[in-house]
Amino acid sequence: MLEVRDLRISFRTEHGRVRAIDGVSFDVAESEILGVVGESGSGKTISLLAVMGLINDPNAVIEGSIKLRGRELIGLKASEMRKLRGREIAMIFQDPMTAMTPVYTIGWQIAEQIMVHERIGKKAALARAIDLLAEVNIPNPREAIERYPHQLSGGMRQRAVIAMALSCNPALLIADEPTTALDVTVQAQILDLIRKLRRVHKSAIVFITHDMGVIAETADRVMVMYSGRVVERGTKAEILLEPRHPYTKALLDSIPPLEGEKPRRLKSIPGSPPSLLDLPKGCSFGPRCPSRFDKCAEKPPLEGGAHAAACFLKAAP
Amino acid sequence: MLLALIRRFGQMIFVMFGISVLVFLIFFVTPGADPAARIAGRNASPETLEAVRKSFGFDQPVWVQYYTLMKKLFVTQDLTSFVNRGWKVVPAVIDTIPVTLSLVIGAAVLWVIFGLLVGLIAAATRGSWIDKSLMALGLIGCAMPVYWLGEVMNLITQSRYHDSWMFSWVPPLGYKPLTEDPKGWFLTLVIPWITLSILYIGLYGRVLRANLIEAMQEDYIRTARAKGLSETRIMLRHALRTSLISFVTLFGLDFGALVGGAALLTEVVFGLQGVGKLTYDALQNLDLPVIMTTVIYASFFVVLANALVDVVYILLDPRVRSA
């Protein structure tokens, strides 16, 4: 349902053009959960903001193609894009503490979204807000709609944000690290909720995270990003059990094992992600890669069909 | 919420009491000066001095003096001026209040409406020539002294161009009570309103623009965009509502101060007998009872305006309600 082809995003800056996203392509099928993993600055959030049409920077240049159910989104008129946002595509952001306007009640904010997209009265919209809050397991939804964001806990606020995102039954839900700012126990509840919502609403979900554990809990397919490129993609089992790209392997190695002997020190990836201003030639992970060899001076293409990795190693003998 | 309101007004009463005590101490109990001599004015006769002593009870304990003064101010309202013999001060101040209120409220309506417009338009067109020219005009407005602007206005509307089609409607300077002559009231005040409000339009427009632009960076604005709201709605419903707090704070302070006499320059330039003008005249003759009364009146107004601002906070921001 969502087809992203060769998406390139760059920003005009004082130091010349900075390429944040370099030829990213991916698909999301109906009611599928796609996990997008990567370190901070790998471009995972910005590529999905582009899908939402929410890159407002006048210096941003967006090229390529983003199709939602066959409809091209790049170059779409602002007013058309606005009609899609919140109705066809919804987004949940990382920090529930600041995601809602502090001066309006939860119910008002959910009803506002419904009323913007549908011909519906205020009463009916509020009634729907109550149903939605019940659906995301907020206790006493009738009272909760009268609450202001600061009166709810972080977990409850994130539920309210999810309820708002779901209010118009979007075909695609983009969740940008929705559990990162929450306690671990609350995290598990929110992940449960997201899986349940996928079953009930049949929405496709793009789940952005840097946490491989969260990916293991939720995703059907996984896309690993590094410095603005997709370095590996495949099903969850393929990525978690048979990672091909050294970066994916390194990410998985940095999770402490649950069973067996614990390593004395957790493995980390040496170095830090390259600056977008000064990307290395060839493979951008090259300078940090333990298996680097001569060929890595060239840019590796993303190859291999369903389970693809942008690395020459798999091809090498 | 009701509790917060009651508490706020309780505080207000307490502060007003404190002010009255402070004013009393400053005027009556300052060491090294005879309060009776100061109240009686320059070159007062011994009989007047004696009369003052008696009427303010300077031979009695301090708290009785305070009580006597408060009674004269608020209950019997028979505080008399000795400089202008026998002139009842409290009614005189009360008479000037409608003039000042008419001037300040009218100007406040103008500056709130245009301040909002300037701030919103500038923030919405940020970086464009519209924004830049509005901000430049705002700065010019802030920079023009009100007495100079008032004189220029008078020069144009009362003398140079008074006979042209543009300003022939402007009546001569002075004040016409609203109850007697609503049309005259309005016409005499239009030019003073504009003069007084220009400074504040510039100031409020600039402050609001800065607050709006800051609010537009917030996470909840991104959420509002993700909801598919229009930019106008985001600006008016989400950014403006949270930006109004400092606007209201400024308004409370400025409004209170202006009603309390800070509109003096405008009143003098346009010949309006308001509280500011009254205080000014009293200062010239060292008419202590009048000065004292206007000081108390002015500080009460500032306190009241601030209490009202806090009430508006409670309405604007739910986070303040529970605190």
* Chain A touched by B7 (CB under 8 Å): no
* Helices and strands, number each (H, E), in chain B: 15, 2
Q: Is the dihedral of CA A239, A241, A246, A248 positive or negative?
A: positive
Which residues in chain A touch residue B312, judged by CB atoms under 8 angstroms apart? none
pLDDT recorded at residue A301: 78
Q: Which residues contact A132 (CB under 8 A, 6 or more apart)?
A: A110, A141, A163, A164, A166, A167
Is the Cβ pair B226, A150 closer than 8 Å? Answer: no
* Chain A touched by B317 (CB under 8 Å): yes
Q: Are A173 and A206 in contact (CB under 8 A)?
A: yes
Is residue A48 included in any domain, yes or no? no
Q: Is B158 helix (H, G, I), strand (E, B) or coil?
A: helix
CA angle B121, B127, B131 (to 5 degrees): 35
Predicted ipTM of the assembly:
0.86
- The pLDDT tens digits for A129-147 are 999 999 888 889 898 899 9
CA R_g for chain B: 24
Q: Is the pLDDT of residue B112 over 80?
A: yes
Is residue A129 included in any domain, yes or no? yes
The C-alpha atoms of residue B200 and residue B75 are separated, in whole angstroms, by: 37
The C-alpha atoms of residue B250 and residue A276 are separated, in whole angstroms, by: 44
What is the rounded average pLDDT for all residues in chain B? 87
Average pLDDT of span B288-309: 86
Is residue A279 included in any domain, yes or no? no
Q: Are B90 and B77 in contact (CB under 8 A)?
A: yes
pLDDT recorded at residue A317: 38
Q: Is the pLDDT of residue B146 over 50?
A: yes
The C-alpha atoms of residue B320 and residue B303 are separated, in whole angstroms, by: 19
> How far B203 CA sits from the closest chain A CA (Å)?
25
What is the rounded average pLDDT for all residues in chain A? 84
Average pLDDT of span B4-28: 88
Q: Are B120 and B208 in contact (CB under 8 A)?
A: yes
The DSSP-derived string for B102-159 is: HHHHHHHHHHHHHHHHHHHHHHHTTTSHHHHHHHHHHHHHHHS-HHHHHHHHHIIIII
pLDDT recorded at residue B323: 54
Which residue in the set B219, B237, B322 is minimally distant from A99, CB to CB? B219
A316 pLDDT band, cuts 50/70/90, is very low
Q: What letter would DSSP give residue B235?
A: I
Which of B323, B311, B193, B215 shows the shortest CA–CA distance to B263?
A: B193
Q: Are B85 and B177 in contact (CB under 8 A)?
A: no
Range of the domain at A110: 97-169
Which residue in the set B224, B316, B319 is minimally distant from A150, CB to CB? B319
pLDDT recorded at residue A53: 86
Q: Are A281 and A297 in contact (CB under 8 A)?
A: yes
pLDDT recorded at residue B178: 82
For the ranges A43-52, B83-92, B310-319, the lowest mean pLDDT is seen at: B83-92
- The pLDDT tens digits for A195-223 are 888 888 888 999 898 888 888 888 889 99
Which residues in chain A touch residue B319, judged by CB atoms under 8 angstroms apart? 102, 148, 150
Q: Is the pLDDT of residue B218 over 80?
A: yes
B235 pLDDT band, cuts 50/70/90, is very high
Q: Is the pLDDT of residue B97 over 60?
A: yes
Q: Is the pLDDT of residue B94 over 90?
A: no
The DSSP-derived string for B160-189 is: ITTTSTTTTTPPPSS---TTT-HHHHHHHH
* Residues present in chain B in total: 323
Is residue A124 included in any domain, yes or no? yes
Is residue A152 included in any domain, yes or no? yes
pLDDT recorded at residue B139: 93
Is the Cβ pair B242, A90 closer than 8 Å? Answer: no
> How far A207 CA sits from the closest chain B CA (Å)?
16
Cα-based distances in Å from B3 to A82, A148, B10, B190, B323: 43, 19, 10, 41, 11
The C-alpha atoms of residue A311 and residue A246 are separated, in whole angstroms, by: 8
pLDDT recorded at residue B322: 66
- The pLDDT tens digits for A173-182 are 998 888 887 7
Residue type, B236: L
Q: Is the dihedral of CA A109, A110, A111, A113 positive or negative?
A: positive
Which of A229, A224, A276 shows the shortest CA–CA distance to A250?
A: A224
Is residue A159 included in any domain, yes or no? yes
Q: Which residues contact A142 (CB under 8 A, 6 or more apart)?
A: A130
To which residue do tokens 């890669």 refer?
A289
Residue type, B197: S
Domains along chain B with CATH numbers: 2-90 (no CATH), 96-317 (1.10.3720.10)
Q: Is B71 helix (H, G, I), strand (E, B) or coil?
A: helix
Which residue in the set A95, A105, A113 is minimally distant from B227, CB to CB? A113
Q: Is the pLDDT of residue B170 over 60?
A: yes
pLDDT recorded at residue B106: 93
Query: Residue A185, Cβ neighbours under 10 Å: how many?
Result: 8
Q: Are B7 and B307 in contact (CB under 8 A)?
A: no
For the ranges A18-32, A69-83, B36-50, B206-220, the lowest mean pLDDT is seen at: B36-50
Cα-based distances in Å from B53 to B22, B35, B37, B65: 20, 9, 9, 10
- Greater confidence (B61 vs A295) lies with B61
Which residues in chain B touch residue A116, judged by CB atoms under 8 angstroms apart? 227-230, 233
The C-alpha atoms of residue A174 and residue A1 are separated, in whole angstroms, by: 14
Average pLDDT of span A280-288: 78
Q: What letter would DSSP give residue B105?
A: H
The CB-side HSE value for A136 (13 A sphere, CA atoms) comes to: 25
Which of B279, B240, B242, B241 shows the shortest CA–CA distance to B263?
A: B279
Average pLDDT of span B116-126: 93
> B261's torsion region: left (phi>0), alpha (psi -120 to 50) or beta?
left
Average pLDDT of span B231-241: 92
A111 pLDDT band, cuts 50/70/90, is very high
- The pLDDT tens digits for B172-200 are 888 888 888 888 888 888 899 999 999 99
Is residue A67 included in any domain, yes or no? no
pLDDT recorded at residue A314: 62
Which of A196, A240, A234 shows the shortest CA–CA distance to A214?
A: A240
Average pLDDT of span A274-298: 76
Is residue A117 included in any domain, yes or no? yes
A229 pLDDT band, cuts 50/70/90, is confident
A24 pLDDT band, cuts 50/70/90, is confident
pLDDT recorded at residue A315: 52
- Greater confidence (B119 vs A299) lies with B119
Report how many domains make up chain A: 1
pLDDT recorded at residue B214: 92
Is the Cβ pair A103, B242 closer than 8 Å? Answer: yes
Residue to substitute from B212, B223, B312, B313, interface A, most A β-carbons within 10 A:
B223
